[in-house]
Amino acid sequence: MEMKFDLKLLKYVFFVLLGIGNAFDFELINNSVIISGENFYSENPFFGGMNKPKVQWVDWNSDGLIDLFLLDEDKKLKYFQNIGTENNAQFELNQTSFQHINCENWFYFADFDNDSEFELMAQSTQNSMQISYYENNNGELEVLTLGILDGNGALVLGESVVTPTFTDIDNDGDLDFFTGSVLGTVSYYENIGFNNNIPLFEFQTNDWQDILIIGQSQTENRHGANAINFIDLDGDMDLDLAWGDSYNQSLYIVWNIGTVENPIMDNINITNQFPPQPYSIETSGQNMASFVDIDTDGDIDLFISVLGGSFGIQNKNNFYHFENVGNNNNPLFVEIGRNYLNMLDFEDKTSPEFADLDGDGDDDLIIGNSFETISFPWNARLKYLENIGSQENPEYEIIDSAFLGSLIGKELTPVFIDIDNDGDLDFFSGETYGGILFSENIGNQYNFEFSNIIAFDGIDVGYNSVPEFVDIDNDNDFDLIIGNSEGNLFFYENIGSSFNSEYILVSENYLDINVLNYSSPDFFDIDNDGDFDLMIGSGDLGLNYYENIGSINIPLFVEIENTLDLGTNLKPALKQSSYGIIDAYVGNTLGGIYHLQFSSCGGGDLNNDLLIDINDIILVVNIILGNETSEDLICNADVNSDELVNIIDILKILSSILF
């Protein structure tokens, strides 16, 4: 019997076993691109957006500079490292999902065991009313329990919709636990020591200090979800209570008229609106206050993040910065801005797309979103950002925040291709109800003009369609592959031509690829081998990279593991900014974008014969000696991806041959 081998498949298996080639090593980029326009300017636009940010200021790396942790509704804990100076904080997104810890809806860092390292408390993944505890082992957090117990063996509990806090309320050197309730009261657990290296608490009361917070709704007095924090706001050395309530567009401050050891709070010494006029705040409700001396001028500054309450949705401009221009005894908080990290944020479920709409040779950026609340009905918008830089060094200017109008639909996922082969880019988009929207460009490649938007070809993939056009069978026309809410890929083959497309449904589950929910495909030659690979964003499974180990005519996709956790509802768009360098802009559920960059170089098979052998080593030697200058050869010779071709690459290739 004759045995046949798929050389490319064997190459894939061989490379994976040896750890050479097929690497998916990408870098999170913070400040590579400037975005401006419409009263916005940022050199760090790609921080990922925010919808309901819960924050804490912690010097995690012990460098004397305060860092920032931020948890949002995607349940990913972001770590922003302060790379500035003592007097000028400058934050860089270091991790999009800190140590891959699921904090659910709240977290709190503190040195609970007095070992000069930060431990972590968080809402439990086991039960939303319970508390998880993570011990710090040389910088790595390890969970010790998913349910902290009190001295009687009962669970320490907090209401699932509130944001609790820890503080040393009795000045005995340990951190006690406080949680608000939707009834407007405060529960208090006293810290009484440790049990098996886990803090031990004793329940005291569900009605601490007889505090009762009743917020004002538009029609009646109401209790609601809340976020609490203790801080000495008047410089008298005892702790006051800042309370953000679902039914208050500002902050309550409950003043402590007792002492540092014996607090006294009541329903009389309460400020109902804080900060006071003329620098008051008015948001959609449930404001979370945090305090830090961010400018190191000796007094605490105020930050307010909006979690959202009974006064609407506030998915952008929801991280307020108030500078203290008074002092710690008499603070005066003046608003500085409402987007403290100065990130790009288009509210909800962003979907980026690259397209050279003005024909100037560089890729512009078009971004769709899910909805906006600025007018009724709450439709999505397309954002047109023109590249006023170059392909290698882009700079984007926001030209139009309602590109093609405000009544297109919801959950827009744009794509631009020349469907009729007339030299200009036509518009397509997915939308909420699973159809495909289409508008023909009746202008030209330099001056676009789009016709009325219509439904395309009667296509329906269920819900949340995400189209991607690609010549997947190499017959010189665009086929159509569409993601949907169930995580499938629908394959529509173009049986027409590049001038007159005609689509037939071939598969509702293309090549059995499924990412469980909200699939968002993008095809690109990621590994620089001449065929299309596949990257799929998902609802909950992150980015999924599938390498094409088949051919340009008959693809065969194999999933390559990656560990970068970017959040939920991810939608990637890929482009090549320079030779061997691929950029990926990834939209997410928080309305922002992440920028990833990785190299398509380093395969080791320089002569593309599907083998790594002595012939490839000879080519590497010739590159080092200057006898070979081909960019393609140099790209594949850089096996260790250090942007150099030298003896290290030869040794790496040699080890793969021998072992």
Torsion-angle region of 567 (φ positive above 0: left; ψ -120 to 50: alpha; else: beta): left
529-569 per-position pLDDT tens digit: 789 999 999 999 999 999 998 989 999 999 987 667 899 99
Q: Tell me, what's the pLDDT at 19?
A: 40
Question: Rounded to a whole number, what is the largest CA-CA distance in the chain?
Answer: 92
Question: CA angle at residue 422 from 419 to 423, to 5 degrees?
Answer: 95
Whether the bond between 331 and the residue before it is cis, its omega within 30 degrees of 0, is: no
Q: Tell me, what's the pLDDT at 474?
A: 95
326-356 per-position pLDDT tens digit: 999 999 999 999 999 999 999 999 999 999 9
Let me know: does 63 contact 86? Beta carbons within 8 Å.
no
Report CA-CA distances (Å) from 471 to 418, 442, 476, 496, 518.
12, 23, 6, 12, 23
Torsion-angle region of 11 (φ positive above 0: left; ψ -120 to 50: alpha; else: beta): alpha
The pTM for the full model equals: 0.90
DSSP letter (8 states) at residue 404: T
Q: Tell me, what's the pLDDT at 220?
A: 53
Q: Could you identify the residue written with the tokens 């052998």?
A: 613
Q: Tell me, what's the pLDDT at 222?
A: 62
Cα 429 from Cα 570, distance rounded (Å):
16
Alpha-carbon Rg for the chain, nearest whole angstrom, is: 28
3-state secondary structure 567-630: CCCCEEEEEEEECCEEEEEEECCCECEEEEEEECCCCCCCCCCCCCCHHHHHHHHHHHHCCCCC
Q: Tell me, what's the pLDDT at 313?
A: 93
Q: Tell me, what's the pLDDT at 5?
A: 39
What are the average pLDDT values for consecutive 10-residue runs of the chain, which has 659 residues? Answer: 43 41 69 91 96 98 97 97 95 96 97 96 97 97 96 93 97 97 95 95 96 67 84 96 96 96 91 92 96 96 96 95 95 96 96 97 97 88 97 94 95 98 97 98 96 96 98 96 98 96 97 96 87 95 92 92 84 87 94 90 74 86 89 80 84 77
Q: Tell me, what's the pLDDT at 270?
A: 93
Cα 326 from Cα 302, distance rounded (Å):
12
Relative to beta strand 454-455, strand 581-587 is unpaired
